[in-house]
Amino acid sequence: MKSTPNGNHKMIWKTVLQVFLDVLIINLSFVLAIYLRFDSVPAWLLDRYATIAPIMTALCVCAFAVSHMYRGQLRYASIGDVLRVFMGTFMGMSLTFLFSVIADMCVGQTTYRIGSRTLYLIAWMILFVLTAMQRFSVRLFNQLGVFYRSRPKNECRRVMIVGGGWGGAAAIREMVARGYREGLPVVIVDDDPAKAGARIERVPIVYGVADIPLYAEEYHIDDIVIAIPSATPAQLRTILDACSPTQCRMRMMSSMQDVTNGNPKMGALRDVNIADLLCRDEVKLDLSAIGGYLSGRVVLVTGGGGSIGSELCRQIAPFGPGRLIIFDIYENNAYELAMELRDKYNGSFPIDVLIGSVRDKARLDSVFAAFRPEAVFHAAAHKHVPLMEDSPAEAVKNNIFGTLNVVKCADQYGAKRMVLLSTDKAVNPTNVMGATKRATEMIVQYMARHSQTRYMAVRFGNVLGSNGSVIPLFRQQIARGGPVRVTDPGITRYFMTIPEAAQLVLQAGAIGESGNIFVLDMGTPVKILDLARNLIRLAGYRPDEDIKIEFCRLRPGEKLYEELTMSEEQATIDKTSHEKIMVLHPFEMNEEELLKRLETLRQAAEKYADLEHIRGPLMELVPTYHPSGT
C-alpha cells in the first residue's frame, strides 16, 4: 500500500524533529566532555570548539543517516537500534577527530583539534548514552501510555500461547503493545521439555501440546494463539486437533505466506480459518515452465472478475505477461481487480478490462482479432447447482456454447494454448451444471484433434471462499446465531484453497498436451457436517449448544459425494511431473454424433427454458448424466 500524502508529511516532520534533537545532543555531548576533561576551560578553548562545532555536527548527522538511524520506528526501538546508535555515534566522532587532525596538518597549526584523543573518546561515550536514551525514551513513554490505556487484567480474555520460541515471544509483545486488548497471555505450551519451567515476559512455559485441554481448564483459557509460523501442515493438524475439544477461540500468527498473499504484517494475529484446518502442503511450482508460456505473452482470462478468474490473474501477473486481458460480463469486480494489479505492478505491463459475454461470438471475435491472445484461461461459467436446475437453458447457452465460442476463437486467431476450468461435478453428473461442464470437456477434446492450438481442461472440486461456496453461507448463519443448515449428515466434498487451485491450473497449462484432462489432487474428502462444526468452534461457539445444526434434504441435482474420475477413465489416468496433478488421456468419441447432438441441444435451449425439454437432449449429449430423481 502506498503512503498517503499526510503520512509522508508526518514522516518528514518527525525526521526533521529527530535531526534537531540530535544536533542538540551532539553539541551537548562535546561540551560536557570538555568540562569533564579539563579542570578549567579557558576562553580560547571555547573559541576553538566554536570553529569545529558546525563541522562536527554535520559529520555526525551524516554518520547517523548512513547508519540508518532515521529509518526506524522509535516506538518499537530494539537491540538493533542500539547497534545502529553505537555505529553511528562512533563513526561520527571518529570522523570529527580525523578531520581535526588532517585539517591542522594542512594549515600547519592547531586550529581545529581540541585536546587529546581522550576528549573525543569521552565525547563519543556521552553521545552514545544520550542518543540511545533519547531514542528509547520514545518507546518508554509509548509503553507507559499503553499501560495507562490498558484494560484491567481481570476484564481481559485469558490467552494460551502455543509455541515457546520467537513466535510466542512476538505474540506476547503484540498483546502487551496493544494494552491487552488482544488478550492477556497467562501460559505458554510447548513440546520441548527443555523449555518447561522457563518464562517469557513473566509468562510460564508448560510442557505438552497433547495436554492443551487440561491446561485450558486449569488456567481458565478463553483464547488460544498458535504462535509457530514455521509449523508444517502435519504439526498444525496435531495442534488444532488438541485445541478442538477446548471450545476456545483460536488465532494464529501471520506467516510469511500470509504476508505475500496480502494479509497483515508478519507476526500479527489473525483468526484461524477453515483453510488452516485443511492443512494442505504448499504448492511447489515449476516457475520456469510457467514463465515460458506466460512471460511477455498476451494472456486472456474469461470470467476474470470471478473468484477463480481473479486469482488466476493475480498468479499470472508476477510472471510479467506482455498484456493481461480481463474479460467478464460483470464490470465491478473486474475493474477493482485491474486497479489492484495496476497499483501493485506499477503499470509494468498493460491490463485491459473488457466487458462482454462468452455467449456473444461477435464480441469474442472482436477481442481475439484485436489482441491475438496466446494463452487463454476459460473460467467464465454458471456454476450454482440449484440455480442451474431452475434455469437449465441458461446453463447450456453459457457453459456449453459459450465454451464452444471461446475454443473456436482460440483456433481461428492462433492462440497457442487454451485451458478450460472444469469441475468434479462433471464426473457422472446428476445435475445440469455438472452435465454442461462434462460437455465442455468433450468439446475441448474434440477441438484438440482439429486445431494447432493446445486444448486442455483442469478438473477440481470445491474452492474455499469462492462465490457461492458453502463457507460464506455457514458464516452468515453463525453470525445470525444459527441454526447452521447441513443438507445431510453424510454429505462429503473435496476442497482446496483459491490460490492452490489457480497455481495448479497454471502448472497444468505448462505441462499439458492437447486433449488432456487434468485431475488435481484434492486430498481426502471433507464431511460437510465436520466443516460446519469446525466453523462454529472457530467463531468461539459450541456446536449443538451455542449454535444448533439442522439437517435438511439434498437440494435439486445434489449428490452425497463427488468423484474425480469416471470408471472408464481409470484405465487412462497417469501421473505427471507434478505430484499434485494427474492426467486423463483422450478417449475415442463419435465426432459426427457429438456435433449432431450439440446442434439438437442448441435448438432446444433456444426454444425452451424448462428442464423437461432440456434434460433429454443433454442426456443424449452426455451419456453419463443421470439426473437425480430419475
Domain identity same for 144 and 158: no
Distance CA 389, CA 558 (A): 10
Q: Which domain holds residue 249?
A: 153-272
Higher pLDDT, 39 or 183: 183
Domain membership of residue 137 (yes or no) is yes
For 560-573, the pLDDT digits (tens) are 777 666 666 666 67
Q: What pLDDT is attached to residue 261? A: 44
> How far lies 126's CA from each of 33, 47, 98, in Å?
7, 21, 19
Distance CA 273, CA 167 (A): 19
Domain membership of residue 19 (yes or no) is yes
527 assigned to active site: no
For 458, the enclosing helix (H) or strand (E) is strand 454-460
Q: Is the pLDDT of residue 142 over 60?
A: no
Q: What pLDDT is attached to residue 540? A: 72
Q: Which residues contact 233 (CB under 8 A, 6 or more apart)?
A: 279, 280, 281
Boundary-marking domain end, from 272, 288, 319: 272
Number of independent structural domains in the chain = 3
Q: Which residues contact 106 (CB under 8 A, 6 or more apart)?
A: none
Distance CA 577, CA 579 (A): 6
Higher pLDDT, 261 or 315: 315
For 409-468, the pLDDT digits (tens) are 999 999 999 999 998 888 889 999 999 999 999 999 999 999 999 999 998 777 776 666
Domain membership of residue 284 (yes or no) is no
pLDDT confidence bin for 256, thresholds 50/70/90: very low
Coil vs helix vs strand at 531: helix
Q: What pLDDT is attached to residue 3? A: 42
Boundary-marking domain end, from 224, 240, 272: 272
**Strand runs labelled E in 23-151:** none
Domain identity same for 50 and 193: no
Domain membership of residue 609 (yes or no) is yes
Average pLDDT, the chain: 82
- Tell me if 421 sits within 8 A of 377, measured CB to CB: yes
Q: What pLDDT is attached to residue 588? A: 73
Q: Is the pLDDT of residue 400 over 90?
A: yes
pLDDT confidence bin for 148, thresholds 50/70/90: very low
Domain identity same for 13 and 128: yes
Of the candidate ranges 255-259, 320-324, 447-451, 529-533, the one whose mean pLDDT is the lowest:
255-259
Domain membership of residue 285 (yes or no) is no
Q: What pLDDT is attached to residue 5? A: 46
- Tell me if 160 sits within 8 A of 186, measured CB to CB: yes
Q: Please tell me the pTM assigned to this model.
A: 0.66
Domain identity same for 353 and 381: yes
CATH for 180: 3.40.50.720
Q: Is the pLDDT of residue 74 over 90?
A: no
- Tell me if 353 sits within 8 A of 338, measured CB to CB: yes
Of the candidate ranges 22-26, 49-53, 78-82, 488-492, the one whose mean pLDDT is the lowest:
78-82
- Tell me if 487 sits within 8 A of 481, measured CB to CB: no
For 341-387, the pLDDT digits (tens) are 999 998 899 999 999 999 999 999 999 999 999 999 999 999 888 89
**Average pLDDT of span 117-139:** 82
3-state helix, strand, coil in the chain (%, to 5): 55, 15, 30
Domain identity same for 157 and 125: no
Q: In the chain, pLDDT over 90 holds for what percent of residues? A: 30
Domain identity same for 221 and 267: yes
565: cell is: 474420475
Q: What pLDDT is attached to residue 600? A: 94
For 492-512, the pLDDT digits (tens) are 887 777 887 888 889 888 888
Q: Which residues contact 472 (CB under 8 A, 6 or more apart)?
A: 465
Q: Is the pLDDT of residue 259 over 50?
A: no
Distance CA 621, CA 248 (A): 52
For 592-623, the pLDDT digits (tens) are 899 999 999 999 999 988 888 999 999 999 99
Coil vs helix vs strand at 270: strand
Coil vs helix vs strand at 322: coil
Domain membership of residue 279 (yes or no) is no
DSSP 194-258: GGTT-EETTEEEEE-GGGHHHHHHHTT-SEEEE--TT--HHHHHHHHHHHGGG--EEEEE--HHH
- Quick one: DSSP state of residue 320? -
Amino acid letter, residue 20: F
Domain membership of residue 16 (yes or no) is yes
Domain identity same for 373 and 492: yes
- Tell me if 266 sits within 8 A of 256, measured CB to CB: yes
Domain membership of residue 289 (yes or no) is no
Catalytic: which of 195, 397, 425, 580?
425
Of the candidate ranges 81-85, 111-115, 118-122, 377-381, the one whose mean pLDDT is the lowest:
111-115
Q: Is the pLDDT of residue 124 over 80?
A: yes
Domain identity same for 159 and 61: no
What distance lies between CA 395 and its chain's CA centroid? 32
